[in-house]
Structure 1
Amino acid sequence: MKKVVYITLSFFAVLLIALVTIPWLFKDRILQKVEQELDASLNARVYFDYDQVSLSALRRFPNISARLGDFGVVGNAPFEADTLVDIGRLEVNFNLFSVLFGDYPELTGIRLEDGNVYVKVLSDGTANYDITYPSEATEDGSPSQFKIGVNRIEVKNLGFIYDDREMDFFMALGALDLQGTGDFTLDVYDMVIKGGGQLVRMDYEGSNYLLDKQLAVDTRVNVDLENMLFSFGDASASLNDFHFGVDGSIALPADGISFDLDFFGKENTFKSLLSLVPGMYTDSFSSLKTSGQMDFKGFVRGIYSDDRFPAFQLGLKVEDGMFQYPDLPKPVRDVSIDLLVDNPSGVVDQTEINLSDFSLKFGDQPISGRVYVQNLVDFDLDGRLVGSLDLAELTSIFPLEGMQLRGNLAIDATAKGRYDSLTNTIPTIQAAMNFANGYVKSVEYPAAIEDIALRSTISNTTGKMNDLVVDVSSVGFKLDGEPVAGSLKIRDLEKLIWDVSVHGVVDLGKLLAIFPQENLIMEGRIQADIDSEGSYADVEAARYDRINVSGLVALNDFFFADADLPQGIRIREAKADFSPRVIQLTKFDSRLGQSPVTATGRLSNYLAYLLGEEGAALVGNLDLQSSSFNVNEWLTTSGEPAGSDQPLQVIDLPRNIDFNMSVEAGEIIYDNLVLKNARGNMALRDGILTFRNFSTNALGGSLGFSGSYNSREIAAPLFDFVFDVNALQIQDAFKTFNTIRIFAPVAEHITGSFTTRFELSGILGQDMMPVLSSLDGKGLVRLAETAIQNSQLIRGITSLTRLNDSANLNLRPFNIQAEIQDGMLKVPPFDLRIWDYEARIQGSTGFDGSISYLVSMQVPAEKFGSQLIGLASGLTGTDLSGTSIPLAINIGGTYGNPRIGLATGDNLEGYLTNMLRSRVSAAGTRVQEQLAAEFQAREDSLRQEIRERAEVVKDSVRAEADRVLDQTKERAAEEVKGLIRGLTRPKP
């Protein structure tokens, strides 16, 4: 007996040792197979931390478990900046016997823990999850070496974002814990899904439908892959405390998505419905006192496709609902809701909405109503809303921490009839709303808003648009003893006849203290005394003499700043007088960010701009003055001056502004350029900013320019300028202008000044810098007496020619006719003297920094000294006095790393020998002409090459612009990612 026990114990000991040691014995093999499979399957960059790799045969026995730490997948362009998968720990399970005895491991389970998955679909349908090679041919042609026998998938503490720009759909889930089980190897199987998480937000076509809800699911789905049919049986889910079930199926035929689903509430009460109300589902929700019953059901049946929509129905009933916050004296009670949304046809416009009953009591104040909409085409309507509300009583029902409210609201409204714009028909309406004895006070500020009052009626007894009257006979309040009062009357929807009046003073700082806004600073006093009568018909017809507008608006000690405008705007004093035709700006003393600005002028067409058809332009004439204006503040996202870490950004100019402005500034700071005594005229019209006759002092000289900045295609804004430059210092210009650094790099070593009239046009990048590959321009550049010092290029020429000339070069005044095409500077032949030698230079510089120049010089023979005497000694009739040796030098490469050589390809000795044998002069002239022709041919070929490269760069610039312009959605996605990262931090 003991022997049997020993044998048994020994067997289990050996088995245990084997289970512990097998993972280490087969670790390299398994990792090798994992890496091979990933490389063969995924067209993406996969990473994981080798130091966090572990294997165990005990953790998931009888499977062997492999864990990878910090696992991630990053797609290729255009998704190289988006991480598809970033998981703290990935666990994959293999059948133990397939590892020990099989040819290929069999994958049986997957577990993802602590991380995020970000699925992104671009507007053209390109998706970042499309990273697998086609199944019939992997990258190296080898088939997958894994067998798939997965029967369990788990995710724990996972974030998931689905960002579909093509459908304009966005969904974010956080802190997901889900388990999916089933025999996934079969064509037909049951999949059981259990778990939950947080639904952070769900948006569709710019509207938010769900926000910050707790999600749970427990369902069984029958999966029929052969017919692409997914059937739900006893499927349960919940949002917060709202539980519902789903029964039916979803199929994926060739022409869309087929729905046959019934949904219904499960064990819900009125409290369950309240859990979906924003702000209600908090930590104290469990202690909320409630009663009442709720019923919820509906269906979706039919095909959803590009041109079809399924039939649907939604019903909701609440009876005897009541809720009361803990420790507050009064409840909301007698809540009754009976809603049916019905569409039996699948035509959305035929949807019928029937809220046959809606009633409740806030304490002792009843509100009741009903509304019936027959369809969504002509909106046949029958509705009623009547009730009263005591705000003091409301605060005893809904807690408003730090806020006191008082006042009485009464409303009685009925509407019945059809809306039809073709016949100018609207429902008949009788409505009255009155608010009296209003009072609002915040604990953050001692002053209160008092005597808040509103009296208004809406009336239309005939159903005709021109019989509608909206009469706000009085509205007003007092803030810290200062009254504001007004009235508004609108009649005849066709002509839109108005009579409006506003009088009073508002302290904006006090108002913001009572109603604080996050990341917003505002202070100052605004005074308005405005009366106006007129009609929209007269605005459209520009009959301004029939419109009465009189009064003034004054602003004092105003300051505004928020997250989008951190620079801040301060207006010490502003006054404007109103008339029907113009607003006269009589005073405007401000500081925009760091820049003081004063202005006077007038605005016209403002009524059409405010009330007219879309696109009506606001016309203005303004005189602007500033002692110092820092443009950089307004071209960066942070409001800080632009620097190495604060790139400029494209300005999108409004299309409906037509301004003419005269500008005077003591200095203007743009990027690293300081313009002194700037003056000129600007015109903004249809998204194009035009500069006329601008003049300024800069860089030791004077600068004048005229031209335009065109932002109508914001992805590739255009500029077109003519510059008049007089005596600008070359060194300062080199340090300031990127175009000079690229196209004239030799300027780094030139001292002196230059004058030019140069035309330049092209595309601006998203950093407001010229796209060099897009530049076109031409002009005559006049250089004053200049000097080139310590130039590597000049040293290269002296080294090649072995002449005793220095690396420094003094140049007499000369002119260069230059032309830029497609980002290539072309310099036609021009003459000058180099070290007192007659010389001719021609060539080009590319936007990529490449240079290609031909330098032809006539060098007196005696300058070569002993180099030439030795070569000439064996020749007869070689009196070289008065003879010049022609040299042609090719310069290529880049300015920083030039390639310099004789254009003939000879070394210096061979070239001089050939020149002597051919008696120099005649042969030299022919050689130089031939070399110039050959150089010109090479230049033509090079220009074509540069042009092709320029198009590639411009395409990439446009792609970058599209990326930058898409950053609004990107920022929104990043904000949600931040929330999810907070939810899915690894739990201790």
Structure 2
Amino acid sequence: MKKALKITGITLLTILILLIGIPFVFQSQIKDAVKSFINDNLNAKVEFSDVSLSFLRSFPKAHVSVSNLNITNFEPFKDETFVTAKNISFTMSIKELFKNTDEDPIVINSISVDEALLTLKTDSFGNTNYDIAKKDNTTPATETKSGGFSFDIKDYSINNSALTYLDEQSKMAVYITELNHKGNGIFSAEKSELDTKSEANVSFTMDSTNYLNNNHIKLDALIGLDLDNSTYTFKENTGYINQLPLEFHGYVKLLEDGQDVDISFENPGSSFKDFFAVIPETYSKNIETVETTGNFKIKGVIKGLVSEKTIPTLDINIASNNASFKYPDLPKRVANITINTSIKNTTGNADDTYVDINTLDFKIDQDVFKSSATIKNLTGNMLVNANIDGVLNLANISKVYPIELNNNLSGILKANVNTAFDMDAIETNAYSRIKNKGVIDLSNFNFASEDFANPIQISNAKITFNPENITLNQFNAKTGKSDLNATGTIKGLLGFLLSDKPLQGNFNLNSNVFAVNDFMTNEPSDTEENKNSSKASLKIPAFLDCTINAQANTVEYDNLKLKNVKGTLIIKDEQAILQNLTSNLFDGDLTVTGLVSTKAETPTFNMDLGMTSFDIAQSFQGLELLQNIAPIAKAIQGKFNTTLNLKGALSSDFTPNLNSLSGGAFAEVLSSTINPLNAEVLNKLGSSLNFIDFKKINLNDLKTQFEFSDGKVNVKPFKFKYQDIDINVSGSHNFDKTMSYNAVFNVPAKYLGSEVNRLIGKIDDASTNNISIPITANITGSYINPSVKTDLSSSVSNLTTRLVEIEKQKLLNKGKGKVSDLLGGLLTGDKKTTETDSTKTKTTQVDSTKTTTGSTVQKEIKNVLGGLLTKKKKDTVN
């Protein structure tokens, strides 16, 4: 017994070793076969990371895996990915591995595909990216031969995969996600059946219209296979659209030029609860608890030829009569529901398919709402004719349907409208082909949303639909502190609602109070410091293309209150353009022209502002911008004019980001007084230059220009006067309040102290009355803590030295003049002159202040006379 067990164990171990080891022998053969199959059958670039073989995984069959398959197209879809798959597995009999693939192909029994992504495309020229099979591969359906493989499929599966189909010609897009499909069959000459199970989420869009939006589709079908006649018959099967069950009957037969289809379907029950089953579960909520009455039936027949030129005829009907529903947790019921809708095509021409909504009516309380529509030419230039007639209390929506609203919705909507149009007219703004007529009234409407800072309350709104345009006859609304009253015309409403076209219009808007903050949204701050707070932001809607002629008694922006605001606002392409906006502000007049743009992540602006007769104190207290451009104005009271050109970025609260500003300005002071106590820099200047009283400075008619960028203001040199002192100022400062200025004071000498004035008095000459010196003050530091340095001391010292020198020169020149006069008298014997000079000499000697001068004159006279006499003697001797 032990020997038998030992032999059995050794045998099993040997088999196990062989099952593990033998695949390595055949792996190269399988890899070559895969490459041969690809090269012989596909016109595409194919890559895969590995091919592996296992005998254990699908024992007693061999299991082959191709890992990380990637197929990309050649022209005209060069380098575009056609398909990727994480893994493709095949199973086959082990004996297939011993075949010579050049003579006998390997027969594949099952295929499994995991995590595949397949993209099928048809471009505008009709080229397809999936036509990659090489030609002349004609084999029977039961045994398809391709290179080193043939297929005799018993079962297959596709797991966790996705498929995308894009057709540029028909403007069609199909997205299938979370696709799981498997099938297994019984194949024989007499009877063949394929049992399939499929599940996926499907989205379907055609010509900008979304017909399915991630709808859950499920189909469990037993399909009879008549392989000799290429006919596939639906037997026992049930499909699901969302939660609605549908039973299918009929067949599909493959023909040389297409498929012959004859399929009928219907929902097996008839309860109105099936209507909710069509709605995606996310929106229909828990339909098991909904109370319903009445019936709901879907029946359809699809019959005919599917080819490049034709589609099957369609006869699909959806009907419900006198139905109702009520959610158990909600107070109200929707009653008298009538649905009569059909989808038909009687010709097989795709363009002749149409939807006829004969009736779609319901009632809530006493409010009856009726509608009908026909939609034709679905695959071409779609034609729509729709009617709406009824009353709807919007507050009842949340009372009959479990919709989640942050705030209660309320208001009465009354509509009686007919519209007829084609989609091409919507796309091209061919308004003459858009026929509208009727009226919509909305009253006592209240709505709240994350897109608005405050709930919107529309007391009355009335829209009249005319063939030419849509007229806004009345619009009265409030939000926060703001009130709005508007009239105007609207263009492109249907284009906006149906095809993402901009909403166009011309409006007249009046408001008593318009607060900009009421139209800002709150978004979470992404900074750690403010993560528990919020920041305000404003986004100009991209869909708006309108002109608004606005007038408001008061506009509140930040901490400003603008009065009597008038102007034109053009909103287009995420920009707000202001034209000739005028307002009263700071006891003066304001004009604004420019734009604000929110196209980029950071909003920007470019504005020209004109300010006339602005009160200096009010404006510089209320506007941070002016505080930074001219902070010294804090100490000035009076009126000024200015023109400003500003451009830069806006911060999150829609105020200018000062460091981003660039532009220039011209300013003119009309009348002013100065309080130096309000500016530390003036206090320090006054302390350094005690001959100036800044309270008495008059800046009237002062004009100056400055430019700014990168947070720096450059002031062009300007002049003003204090009494008879000329003052020249130039320099720059930064928005961080640091500064670098030079002020040059052209100061008459009389202001420079007693010593200077004593010297000027001693000179006693008219020329000294105009003596002045430049005194320079260097101003640095910040406005809060300024540093003032002047050259006053050195300038006064230099002036004193000059005055002493002038005095000496004048005395010298004065003495020489007297000597000349005296000599002239002596030589001519003019007693009068001598007496006069003698008298003057005596007078000079008596005058104690002129003693030195008299003595000097006498000495000079003696020296001169002595020289003359000595010279005469010498001449006589000779």
Normalised by the size of structure 2, how large is the TM-score? 0.59
Choose from 702, 708, 715 the match for 1:820: 708
Residue in 2 aligned with 1:451? Answer: 336
Query: Structure 1 residues 491-500 or 603-612, which shifts more?
Result: 603-612
> Within 2, Cα distance between the matches of 1:601 and 1:313?
51
Deviation at residue 872 of structure 1 after TM alignment: 9.8
> Within 2, Cα distance between the matches of 1:837 and 1:512?
79
Deviation at residue 700 of structure 1 after TM alignment: 2.2
Residue in 2 aligned with 1:567? Answer: 454
> Within 2, Cα distance between the matches of 1:315 and 1:588?
55
User: Which amino acid counterpart does residue 246 of structure 2 have in structure 1?
Assistant: I
> Within 1, Cα distance between the matches of 2:631 and 2:306?
70
Deviation at residue 568 of structure 1 after TM alignment: 0.9
User: SS where residue 784 of structure 2 aligns?
Assistant: coil
C-alpha distance after superposition, 1:604-629 (max 9, x if no partner): 243444456x5x44331111111111
Residue in 2 aligned with 1:387? Answer: 267
Q: 1:784 to 1:340 in 2, by over 3 A?
A: closer
- The 8 Å contact of residues 844 and 851 in structure 1, kept in 2 or not, is answered as yes
- The 8 Å contact of residues 261 and 300 in structure 1, kept in 2 or not, is answered as no
- The 8 Å contact of residues 387 and 412 in structure 1, kept in 2 or not, is answered as yes
User: SS where residue 632 of structure 1 aligns?
Assistant: helix
Deviation at residue 880 of structure 1 after TM alignment: 5.9
- CA radius of gyration, larger in: 2
Q: 1:839 to 1:416 in 2, by over 3 A?
A: farther
Deviation at residue 727 of structure 1 after TM alignment: 1.8
User: SS where residue 637 of structure 1 aligns?
Assistant: strand
> Within 1, Cα distance between the matches of 2:613 and 2:511?
26
Deviation at residue 848 of structure 1 after TM alignment: 3.8
**Count of matched residue positions in the alignment of Structure 1 and Structure 2:** 602
Deviation at residue 914 of structure 1 after TM alignment: 3.7
> Within 1, Cα distance between the matches of 2:685 and 2:334?
83
> Within 2, Cα distance between the matches of 1:721 and 1:379?
66
User: Which amino acid counterpart does residue 701 of structure 1 have in structure 2?
Assistant: G
> Within 1, Cα distance between the matches of 2:548 and 2:672?
40
1:338 aligns with 2:160: no
Work out the percentage of aligned pairs sharing the same amino acid: 25
Residue in 2 aligned with 1:837? Answer: 725
User: SS where residue 291 of structure 2 aligns?
Assistant: strand
User: Which amino acid counterpart does residue 844 of structure 1 have in structure 2?
Assistant: S
User: SS where residue 338 of structure 2 aligns?
Assistant: strand
Deviation at residue 764 of structure 1 after TM alignment: 2.1
User: Which amino acid counterpart does residue 554 of structure 2 have in structure 1?
Assistant: E
Deviation at residue 767 of structure 1 after TM alignment: 3.1
Deviation at residue 804 of structure 1 after TM alignment: 6.4
Residue in 2 aligned with 1:471? Answer: 356
User: SS where residue 510 of structure 1 aligns?
Assistant: helix
> Within 1, Cα distance between the matches of 2:54 and 2:638?
83
User: SS where residue 797 of structure 1 aligns?
Assistant: helix
What RMSD over aligned residues (CA atoms) do the two structures have, in Å?
5.0
Choose from 888, 910, 913 the match for 2:797: 913
Q: 1:849 to 1:646 in 2, by over 3 A?
A: farther
> Within 2, Cα distance between the matches of 1:921 and 1:677?
68
Residue in 2 aligned with 1:768? Answer: 654
Choose from 500, 506, 511 the match for 2:397: 511
- The 8 Å contact of residues 354 and 373 in structure 1, kept in 2 or not, is answered as no
Residue in 2 aligned with 1:435? Answer: 320
Residue in 1 aligned with 2:295? Answer: 408
> Within 2, Cα distance between the matches of 1:233 and 1:896?
87
Q: 1:541 to 1:682 in 2, by over 3 A?
A: closer
> Within 2, Cα distance between the matches of 1:443 and 1:479?
16
C-alpha distance after superposition, 1:443-477 (max 9, x if no partner): 56544210112111112244433211111111110
Choose from 716, 721, 740 the match for 2:626: 740
User: Which amino acid counterpart does residue 385 of structure 2 have in structure 1?
Assistant: D
> Within 1, Cα distance between the matches of 2:493 and 2:547?
15
User: SS where residue 520 of structure 1 aligns?
Assistant: coil
Q: Which residues of 2 match residues 292-307 of structure 1 at below 5 A?
A: none
Q: 1:418 to 1:852 in 2, by over 3 A?
A: farther
1:623 aligns with 2:508: yes
Residue in 2 aligned with 1:151? Answer: none
Residue in 2 aligned with 1:483? Answer: 368
Choose from 675, 680, 692 the match for 2:579: 692
- The 8 Å contact of residues 411 and 434 in structure 1, kept in 2 or not, is answered as yes
Q: 1:810 to 1:314 in 2, by over 3 A?
A: same
User: SS where residue 799 of structure 1 aligns?
Assistant: helix
1:662 aligns with 2:549: yes
Deviation at residue 763 of structure 1 after TM alignment: 2.5
User: SS where residue 545 of structure 2 aligns?
Assistant: strand
User: Which amino acid counterpart does residue 843 of structure 1 have in structure 2?
Assistant: G
> Within 1, Cα distance between the matches of 2:636 and 2:309?
76
Residue in 2 aligned with 1:114? Answer: none
> Within 1, Cα distance between the matches of 2:696 and 2:52?
83
Deviation at residue 864 of structure 1 after TM alignment: 2.7
Residue in 1 aligned with 2:97? Answer: none
Deviation at residue 537 of structure 1 after TM alignment: 3.7
> Within 2, Cα distance between the matches of 1:400 and 1:635?
39
Deviation at residue 867 of structure 1 after TM alignment: 7.5
> Within 2, Cα distance between the matches of 1:754 and 1:262?
85
Gaps of 5+ in 2: 1-48, 58-62, 73-80, 92-154, 162-177, 186-194, 201-217, 223-236, 278-284, 525-529, 807-878
> Within 1, Cα distance between the matches of 2:805 and 2:643?
39
> Within 2, Cα distance between the matches of 1:399 and 1:821?
62
Q: 1:827 to 1:560 in 2, by over 3 A?
A: same
Q: 1:655 to 1:519 in 2, by over 3 A?
A: closer
Choose from 480, 491, 501 the match for 1:604: 491
1:594 aligns with 2:481: yes
Q: Which residues of 2 match residues 84-99 of structure 1 at below 5 A?
A: none
- The 8 Å contact of residues 574 and 588 in structure 1, kept in 2 or not, is answered as yes
1:367 aligns with 2:246: yes
Choose from 889, 896, 909 the match for 2:777: 889
1:703 aligns with 2:587: no
> Within 1, Cα distance between the matches of 2:805 and 2:640?
36
C-alpha distance after superposition, 1:249-276 (max 9, x if no partner): 98999x9999458799xxxxxxxxxxxx
Deviation at residue 486 of structure 1 after TM alignment: 1.2
> Within 2, Cα distance between the matches of 1:849 and 1:817?
19
User: Which amino acid counterpart does residue 715 of structure 2 have in structure 1?
Assistant: V
Residue in 1 aligned with 2:520? Answer: 635
User: SS where residue 655 of structure 2 aligns?
Assistant: coil
Residue in 1 aligned with 2:613? Answer: 727
> Within 2, Cα distance between the matches of 1:620 and 1:921?
84
Normalised by the size of structure 1, how large is the TM-score? 0.53
Q: Which residues of 2 match residues 3-82 of structure 1 at below 5 A?
A: none
> Within 2, Cα distance between the matches of 1:457 and 1:883?
106
1:460 aligns with 2:345: yes
- The 8 Å contact of residues 452 and 521 in structure 2, kept in 1 or not, is answered as no
Q: 1:737 to 1:857 in 2, by over 3 A?
A: same
> Within 2, Cα distance between the matches of 1:620 and 1:356?
54
- The 8 Å contact of residues 763 and 775 in structure 1, kept in 2 or not, is answered as yes
- The 8 Å contact of residues 594 and 606 in structure 2, kept in 1 or not, is answered as yes
1:671 aligns with 2:555: no
- The 8 Å contact of residues 263 and 297 in structure 1, kept in 2 or not, is answered as no
Query: Structure 1 residues 734-743 or 475-484, which shifts more?
Result: 734-743
Q: 1:370 to 1:842 in 2, by over 3 A?
A: farther
Q: 1:745 to 1:361 in 2, by over 3 A?
A: closer
Q: 1:431 to 1:674 in 2, by over 3 A?
A: same
Q: 1:259 to 1:577 in 2, by over 3 A?
A: closer
- The 8 Å contact of residues 69 and 86 in structure 2, kept in 1 or not, is answered as no
Deviation at residue 651 of structure 1 after TM alignment: 3.0
Q: 1:909 to 1:470 in 2, by over 3 A?
A: same
Q: Which residues of 2 match residues 944-983 of structure 1 at below 5 A?
A: none
Q: 1:541 to 1:794 in 2, by over 3 A?
A: closer
Relative contact order higher in (CA < 8 Å, ≥ 6 apart): 1
Residue in 2 aligned with 1:792? Answer: 680
Deviation at residue 688 of structure 1 after TM alignment: 2.4
> Within 2, Cα distance between the matches of 1:894 and 1:863?
29
C-alpha distance after superposition, 1:174-199 (max 9, x if no partner): xxxxxxxxxxxxxxxxxxxxxxxxxx
> Within 1, Cα distance between the matches of 2:323 and 2:537?
47
